[in-house]
């Protein structure tokens, strides 16, 4: 006999506090190729942490490890721990859906459901995590998340039009709103502005600044000016030729850009390579 799983409808009045994410001795492989070697980094609650470094140094792999996307690759392997306020997201018995609810993800290319309405795009993540919002609160939740994503004023009168009809920058903000609807405590952003024009990039950066007070943000970016503008702290990843990626240096953003301790960091942030 098939059992029907019942999900309780839950009130969405309370926004959970941002969490500290602590990666400890992370090593990662794709098959026999090691791509990260014993990377440790603490990403403080309520701050924006930028992951910088040239292509191929493991930044995006590290980001995906932070919400258990790395393990979806058939040949992927992992060592180390990722602690969300002290609790290991990879602990036995902890479901992937729990990690994905606490640690949201915004990808490089906007990926709204193109034929689904703007409204339904925002609440789509709730179904994926098994949460149901009381019907009376759903409208408020959609408005709240679109406001936080900086999109409400532009779409308030067309919520039931397809999300795929929006511009690229609007689609990316819609994806941010969708991520926020499940009440994450951490939001991962993998080069969220790389496919956008300068005006849309500025709006996304303003959105990041406004969100930082209530959700911990980790962003991968190749844009050094952007990293300097939006982040509180930076981590510089580097993979020497034929070697796995490591963190060369990390610390407050103003120190990383103004007074880096490693000459390789200075060369990278000042555009001498990468």
Report yes or no: 65 and 82 within 8 Å, Cβ to Cβ: yes
Q: How much is the pLDDT for 12?
A: 53
Confidence check: pLDDT of 1 > 70: no
How many CB atoms sit inside 10 A of residue 131's CB? 19
d(CA 111, CA 172): 7
What are the tens digits of pLDDT across the range 16-26?
Answer: 899 999 999 99
Q: How many domains does the chain have?
A: 1
Confidence check: pLDDT of 266 > 70: yes
Q: Residue 78 in 3-state DSSP?
A: strand
d(CA 195, CA 106): 13
Give how far the C-alpha of residue 217 lies from the chain's centroid of Cα atoms, to the nearest Å: 6
Report yes or no: 97 and 129 within 8 Å, Cβ to Cβ: yes
Q: How confident is the model at residue 99 (pLDDT cuts 50, 70, 90)?
A: confident
Write down the mean pLDDT value for the chain: 90
Confidence check: pLDDT of 101 > 90: no
With CA atoms as reference, report the closest residue to 191 among 224, 166, 165. 224
Q: What is the pTM of this model?
A: 0.91
* Strand 216-220 relative to strand 48-52, pairing: parallel
Confidence check: pLDDT of 75 > 80: yes
- 119 domain residue, yes or no: yes
* pLDDT over 70 percentage in the chain: 93
- 94 domain residue, yes or no: yes
Q: CA dist 57 to 201, 243, 250, Å? A: 24, 9, 15
Give how far the C-alpha of residue 84 lies from the chain's centroid of Cα atoms, to the nearest Å: 14
Confidence check: pLDDT of 6 > 60: no
Q: How confident is the model at residue 4 (pLDDT cuts 50, 70, 90)?
A: very low
- 274 domain residue, yes or no: no
* Domain CATH number, residue 179: 3.40.50.300
What are the tens digits of pLDDT across the range 120-156?
Answer: 999 997 877 677 788 778 999 999 999 999 999 999 9
- 126 domain residue, yes or no: yes
Phi, psi of 253 (to 5 degrees): -60, -40
Q: How confident is the model at residue 216 (pLDDT cuts 50, 70, 90)?
A: very high
- 10 domain residue, yes or no: no
Environment class of 196 (CB within 10 Å of its CB; exposed 0-12, middle 13-18, buried 19+):
buried
The larger pLDDT score, comparing residue 78 to residue 132, is at 78
Confidence check: pLDDT of 13 > 60: no
Please give the residue range of the domain that contains residue 71: 18-269
């Amino acid at each position: 006999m098939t059992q029907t799983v019942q999900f309780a409808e839950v009130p969405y009045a309370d926004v959970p506090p941002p969490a500290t994410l602590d990666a400890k001795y992370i090593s990662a492989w794709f098959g026999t190729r090691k791509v990260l070697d014993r990377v440790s980094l603490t990403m403080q609650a309520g701050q924006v942490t930028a992951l910088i470094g040239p292509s191929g140094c493991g930044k995006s792999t590290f980001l995906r490890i932070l919400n258990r996307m790395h393990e979806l690759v058939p040949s992927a392997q992992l060592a180390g721990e990722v602690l969300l306020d002290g609790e290991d997201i990879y602990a036995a018995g902890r479901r992937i859906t729990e990690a994905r609810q606490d640690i949201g993800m915004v990808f490089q290319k906007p990926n709204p459901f193109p034929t689904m309405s703007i409204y339904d795009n925002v609440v789509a993540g709730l179904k994926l995590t098994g949460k149901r919002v009381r019907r009376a609160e759903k409208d408020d939740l959609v408005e709240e998340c679109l406001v936080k994503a900086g999109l409400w004023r532009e779409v308030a009168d067309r919520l039931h039009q397809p999300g795929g009809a929006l511009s690229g920058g609007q689609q990316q903000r819609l994806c941010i709103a969708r991520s926020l609807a499940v009440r994450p405590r951490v939001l991962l952003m993998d080069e969220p502005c790389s496919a956008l024009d300068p005006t849309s990039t500025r709006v996304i950066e303003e959105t990041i600044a406004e969100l930082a007070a209530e959700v911990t943000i980790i962003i991968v970016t190749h844009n050094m000016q952007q990293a300097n503008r939006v982040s509180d702290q930076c981590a510089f990843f580097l993979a020497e030729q034929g070697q796995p990626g490591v963190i060369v240096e990390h610390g407050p953003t103003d120190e990383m850009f103004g007074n880096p301790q490693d000459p390789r960091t200075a060369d990278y942030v000042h555009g001498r390579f990468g």
